[in-house]
Every structure is written in C-alpha cells, then in structure tokens.
Chain A
Amino acid sequence: AQSVSQHNHHVILSEAASLELGCNYSYGGTVNLFWYVQYPGQHLQLLLKYFSGDPLVKGIKGFEAEFIKSKFSFNLRKPSVQWSDTAEYFCAVNHNAGNMLTFGGGTRLMVKP
C-alpha cells in the first residue's frame, strides 16, 4: 500500500524565515500530489496540486512545491512566512482516478510574530 511521510511533525519559525516542509511517498506509478492547509478551527483548504507538466508548482499565498520524481518527493516551500501561516499542513497523494487520498501525518507550523 502506498504511504506518505512528512518528516517534520512540528516546526517553529520566526516571521520572514524561509520554510520547507518535506513530503515523500512510496507509490511507484503515476501519482497526483497535493498540499492542504488546515487553519485552527477551519476545514482543509487546497494550497497547490501537481498532476503533470512543470514539476515546480505555484500555489496560493506564496507557497510552491517541487515534484522530484526520482526522489519520490513533493516538498512545500515558502520564501518568507507570516504569522498567519500558522496552521497544520498535510501532504496527500492519490494514484487513481477516484480522488481517494492518502495523507501524510501532517506538520504543525507555528510562526512567531
């Protein structure tokens, strides 16, 4: 079965610091990749997605992610975080057309003002 690993469970940064959250998956075939964010008390929101094409994907709120097929990775980055980026971030993968997602364990980000 496929699995998704997020290496950082908790990250604490100061405002303006750069962010990189790791995500690796285990499935060897064609995959669709997603990053979702969950702000406190809110539902999941899509940050960005990769289906095909340019492996560097730009999402909302200044986030981007790079798909490196050889490393089975889809790391999330943001050059300069803000206090409002405090949230939990989930990497997710699906490898079928049914939109069933396998989620990573999540990374809780806290940005200090």
Chain B
Amino acid sequence: GAVVSQHPSWVICKSGTSVKIECRSLDFQATTMFWYRQFPKQSLMLMATSNEGSKATYEQGVEKDKFLINHASLTLSTLTVTSAHPEDSSFYICSAAPLGRTNTEAFFGQGTRLTVV
C-alpha cells in the first residue's frame, strides 16, 4: 500500500522556538495533504488542507501565522509550528491520497509528537 512518512517522530523544543515537521508520500504523488492534531485521549481534528503550489486552507480557529504550511512538491508538505508554546504540545498527523485515484482512502503518517517545554 501507499506509504506516508513523517519526520521527526517526536521532538522536544523550548518555548519560543519553531519546529518544522515534514510529511512525505514515498511512493505516490499528492496534490493535497491534510494536517491533523490529536490531543491526548481525544480524536483527530483537521487543522488545514495543504495544497501543492498554492496556499493552505485552514480550519476555523487554526492560526495560519502560527502553523505555517508549505506544499512545495507533489510528495512533500511541511508544517512549521512557529514560536511554540507548551499548549502547542500535541500529536500532529498528516495524511495524503494518491493523485488521480478515485474511491481511495487516505494514508496516514506515523505522527509527530511535539513537546514544548
């Protein structure tokens, strides 16, 4: 099956610094990738839709200046958490579906656990 890889798997950073998370589709291309956030013991909440070659679409309540998304190629999207604070600590997950295929499920990365201290 299709593989989506996230890097890093976990990261600890100091408050006020920025952290970049990468999401790569390893064996397929995707014009659209999705970024989710999962708080402990809660479900996944869609943060934004990453669009290759254009601006990301953010869900209501998600600060676009705080969570910078860049979709530079058909296989890579990045999420940068800027000026991170402890409340940004969470599990961030990306997903993507192969370009041009209908009726296919989205494939998920393994997630990135961010801890801001």
Contact = CB atoms under 8 A, between A and B. Distances in A.
Contacts, number: 49
B43 A99 contact: no
The interface size bin for chain A is 20 to 34
Interface string B27-46: 00000101010000111111
Contact of A103 (B44, B96, B103, B105): B44
A67 interface: no
Interface stretch (B61-69, B76-84, B108-116): B108-116
The interface size bin for chain B is 20 to 34
A44 B46 CA distance: 15
Given A43-B111, A51-B103, A98-B49, A104 B95 contact: no
A36 B108 CA distance: 10
Given A43-B110, A43-B111, A44-B108, A100 B34 contact: yes
Contact of B93 (A43, A102, A106): A43
B13 to A, nearest CB: 21
Contact of B105 (A34, A97, A102, A108): A34
B43 A42 contact: no
Contacts of A43: 93, 108-111
A82 interface: no
A105 to B, nearest CB: 5
A43 to B, nearest CB: 4
Nearest to A51: B103
Contacts of A12: none
Interface string A79-113: 00000000000100000011111111110100000
A100 B44 CA distance: 12
6 closest Cβ pairs, A-B complex: A43-B110, A99-B97, A44-B108, A99-B106, A51-B103, A105-B43
Interface of B: 32, 34, 36, 41-46, 49, 93, 95-97, 102-106, 108-111
